[in-house]
Amino acid sequence: MKAALYIRVSTEMQAEDGFSVEGQKARLFNFAQSQDWEIYDFYIDDGYSAKDLNRPDMQRLLADMEEQKFDVVLVYKLDRLTRSVADLHKLLKTFDQYGVKFKSSTEIFETTTAMGRFFITLVGAMAEWERETISERVRFGVEQMVVEGKRPGGVYPYGYTSEGKLIPEEKELIREVRGLYMSGMGYKSIAMKMNREGKLRRGSEWTAATVAYTIENPFYAGIIRLGSKTNKGTYANTKRDERVKCIYGEGDHEAVFTREEYEETKKFMERKTHGGYSRIKTYWFSGVLRCGRCGAAMFGKLTTKRMAGGETVRTPYYICANRHANSSCDMPIFRQVHIEHLMMEYIMSIRADSQLLAKESSALLKDQAKKTSEVDDAKRELARIVERKEKWQYMFVEGLISKEEVRKRITEEDEKEKEAKKKIAANEVSLSAIPKLEELAEMEELWPLIDDEEKKMVVFTLFKKITINTPLTNPKGVKNKFFEARIDEVLFN
């Protein structure tokens, strides 16, 4: 019998005896040997939470299971596999589907009977309860820090040093940005004016998103805010105070604005929102949204529905261009609020684990440096190819080589030139996918506060392409609910 040995270590468990990668590996190896099982492979997720199945080697294990590469999955303890009852049911159902057995080396489970399945579900529920209890304790501790005026870690915003000291030159720029906004200018206009005048944001250009974040951020008024999304990222059809739960505390850092100035700014923003600026005037994702099935653009349209009382309701949605033109694609229509929901889920998934995020960010930066170096090497090779071509032509003119020889040499150089250009193009596409993590965090906070034109501008500023997909072709379900869908690919500007 071939065994897949699955090992998971969350950051806080790495140092504990028996739960380390090597500790689990040794115990599982010995157990497999005692059962006379052949070890197919080790699947190791180092530093990943068990809150969901979105782990690299878990996904690899599931893919290998579909190809029937092993007969049993062995873990040290059930909670190494998952701490979610829903995910546990999903995994057990998948194991049954492919005829794969499940075994814990330290626990006795029997999944072939109703009582056995009940017992393993009960243990899974206890693991999920333990995870949620730990999460609640951590969240309570962070919230208490905010109430006491202590900043719970993280990077200080623009205007402050890494030690939290206010930078006078940047303070003046922040105050100027607020002054321009209060004079009636929009976020995009402010960004363009600041950039045109050379008043950059630490060497980077201002964008509509960074301007809005600067104006709205309560930290500049001496306030520490801890915000958490509710309803699992539901941003549609809810009031602002229902979708964002915030805790505020008085900070001890030097402020940029007075409390009165900040309250004045908030009231001004509210007047703009309720003055008619928040109605649908534009399609937020047009120009960047792509169909995950055929690759065509998805463009915005409006549906109009007249209600019983005479009121007209207009709903924006997106349709694949190929479906609209000739029905050659069967991608379903997506409401704009559904795309919004998927984007916010995507952003929250990236920011879910700060330590993992830091690790991924470091890896991306290393990858970026490597790809940039490869692009530079390829460009230097292109320059050398041009020089060599000129040399072969000169030698032909001087009678040093024959016509056939120069043609052969030029053909060889042309092939090298194509390869170099292909390498440059491939790496530049890869570089465009390195996420701007700070700007994504700003987008998540700002989104409920900005109007439609500004939302469109934020999307165009951050994203080059957003590809969506769904396994469904004709989704049906409860009214106003989102059907199963996902974001397949995001390319950043």
What CATH number is associated with residue 130? 3.40.50.1390
Whether residues 265 and 127 share a domain: the answer is no
Per-residue pLDDT of the chain (493 residues; tens, 9 = 90+): 899 999 988 765 444 444 678 888 888 998 998 889 999 999 999 888 777 888 999 999 999 999 999 999 999 887 788 777 667 778 877 887 888 888 888 876 655 455 555 656 665 565 555 555 555 555 555 555 555 555 555 567 888 887 788 899 999 999 999 888 887 778 888 888 888 888 999 888 998 888 888 888 888 887 776 554 333 333 333 333 333 455 555 667 788 888 888 888 888 877 665 544 444 456 888 878 999 999 988 888 888 777 777 777 788 899 998 888 788 899 999 999 999 999 988 887 766 544 454 555 555 556 666 666 777 777 788 888 888 877 877 777 777 888 888 888 888 888 888 887 777 666 554 444 444 566 777 777 778 878 787 788 788 778 888 999 999 988 876 566 889 999 998 888 7
Nearest to 211 by CA among 436, 437, 442: 442
Q: What value, to the nearest 5°, has the Cα angle with vertex 334 and ends 333 and 339?
A: 160
Determine, yes or no, domain membership for 163.
no
Whether residues 103 and 243 share a domain: the answer is no
Whether residues 50 and 67 share a domain: the answer is yes
Determine, yes or no, domain membership for 438.
yes
Determine, yes or no, domain membership for 302.
no
Determine, yes or no, domain membership for 32.
yes
Which residue shows structure tokens 């995507």?
346
84: domain range? 2-140
CATH number, domain with residue 195: 3.90.1750.20
Q: Long-range contacts of range 231-237, CB-CB < 8 Å, 24 or more positions apart?
A: 232/345, 233/341, 233/344, 233/345, 233/348, 234/341, 235/337, 235/340, 235/341, 235/344, 235/447, 235/448, 236/337, 236/338, 236/340, 236/341, 237/337, 237/480
Whether residues 431 and 485 share a domain: the answer is yes
**Residue 224 amino acid letter:** I
Determine, yes or no, domain membership for 487.
yes
Other Cβ atoms within 10 Å of 275 Cβ, number: 9
Whether residues 492 and 370 share a domain: the answer is yes
Whether residues 347 and 485 share a domain: the answer is yes
Whether residues 400 and 420 share a domain: the answer is yes
Whether residues 124 and 46 share a domain: the answer is yes
Whether residues 201 and 58 share a domain: the answer is no
Tokens of 274: 């309720």
CA distances from 57 to 63, 260, 317 (A): 10, 52, 37
Determine, yes or no, domain membership for 398.
yes
Considering its fold, how many domains does the chain have in total? Answer: 3
| Kind of pairing between the strands at 2-9 and 72-75 | parallel
Determine, yes or no, domain membership for 329.
no
Name the residues annotated as catalytic: 10
Tokens of 176: 């100027």
CA distance 377 to 380: 5
CA distance 477 to 361: 38
Whether residues 346 and 490 share a domain: the answer is yes
Whether residues 462 and 353 share a domain: the answer is yes
Whether residues 394 and 356 share a domain: the answer is yes
